[in-house]
Structure 1
Amino acid sequence: MIVNLFSGHGLLELNDLALLRWAHIVAGIIWVGLLYFFNFVQMPAIAAATADQGGPGPAAIGKYILPRALLWFRWAALATWLTGGWYLVRTDQLLAAFTLGLSRGGDTAYGLPMGIGVWLGTILLINVWLVLWPNQKKVMGMVKTEGETDLARARKTIATVARINAVLSIPMLMFMVAAGHGVAL
């Protein structure tokens, strides 16, 4: 499928791979943007709201902002991973990425940086769905906790894993951009 914009003048031609790549990039911007929001805006804001005696407290963030942000965060993570995986399937690069280029007889110019990015993205996705989301449901009161100790542990796990994901996102982005632009390692 080719979408030719500007009535056939060839100014902008988008095929299905280009649209798939754009979907991956947009979903990734939402995912990583929200990851940075949680780490650099929301967590400090909750600390400030807790200390503010005259304000609405952290409940305002937890009740109105957090559920919507988490919805977009976890589904953008999945959309990013799925569109990236589908792009690699369509371009016959999936095996090369997951084997760091070794499946192509050692041709690692694309496979190594892309593979490192793919593996880091997979770790981030697993953290979102299997570590962060179950603990966030506890903090938001969506699932029952085993008391204050369990709740405190959930909060600590969220803070730690969110920071780990923020740190891992930097090399993930660097390696994916390097692969897409032919930067050798």
Structure 2
Amino acid sequence: MAKLFGNLHLVLAIGLVAALALMFGFADSVAIDGNSIGRWLHLFFGVLWIGLLYYFNFVQVPGMPKIADEHKPAVTKTIAPSALFFFRWAALLTVVTGLWIAMINGYMVNALTFAGNPYENLIGAGMWMALVMAFNVWFIIWPAQKKVLGIVEATADEKAAAAPRALIASRLNTLLSFPMMYAMVSANLG
């Protein structure tokens, strides 16, 4: 068991096979189409994205001042860059799969323009919040973190200015995540 669960790629592969078995096991009674696959991927990427957002805001950022200076490079040189890789790509893929779902279900324009029914308008509000959050990830948080973590060259002043910029964008994303998730979950009840 330790060998199985010690190998992340094997665990992911087995999880994928189990999901496919579940899908095809119920294929006679449940449609397997672009919508169901899109929703499944949207949920996976969304959980990964928001989970990492909460990890950064609830664990890593508050925990860094408690870490001895000689141990901080373990986080800033190894853990944070890896977490930020999954964070930014999960953000992008969450948005792409969400837009895919809205497109194939025919409500994307109505949702984004608030020209639809209450269901479409609520999901549209969630979509706009997610778009703002993804923008923050790719165009504010990630460029700032590259400077802070030393991934790109930056002066001490540039690093000092980048840290609060990344923190504010990250905290805005945390703030927006609550109403965004409400919109996403509640709109699906309509």
* TM-score interval, smaller chain: 0.7 to 0.9
Higher helix share: 2
Identity among equivalent pairs (%): 36
Describe the superposition over 1:40-81 as per-residue Cα deviations: whole angstroms up to 9, x where unpaired.
Answer: 0010121111xx36xx43111011101110000000000000
Letter in 1 for 2:179: P
Whether the 8 Å CA contact 1:31–1:76 is kept in 2: the answer is: yes
| Structure 1 runs, 4 residues or longer, greater than 4 Å off | none
Separation in structure 1 between the aligned mates of residue 27 and residue 188 of structure 2, nearest angstrom: 28
Structure 1 partner of 2:174: 166
TM-score by length of 1: 0.85
TM-superposed deviation, 1:16 = 2.3
Q: 2:66 aligns with which of 48, 53, 77?
A: 48
Structure 2 partner of 1:39: 57
Does 1:98 pair with 2:98? Answer: no
TM-score by length of 2: 0.83
Letter in 2 for 1:144: E
Does 1:125 pair with 2:134? Answer: yes
Change (3 A) 1:8 1:97: closer
Provide structure 1 residue ranges, at least 5 long, that are not aligned to the other structure. none
Q: 2:123 aligns with which of 114, 118, 123?
A: 114
TM-superposed deviation, 1:97 = 0.9
Aligned residues, how many? 169
Higher strand share: 1
DSSP 3-state at the match of 2:152: coil
Letter in 2 for 1:168: L
Structure 2 partner of 1:63: 77
TM-superposed deviation, 1:14 = 2.4
RMSD (CA atoms)? 1.7
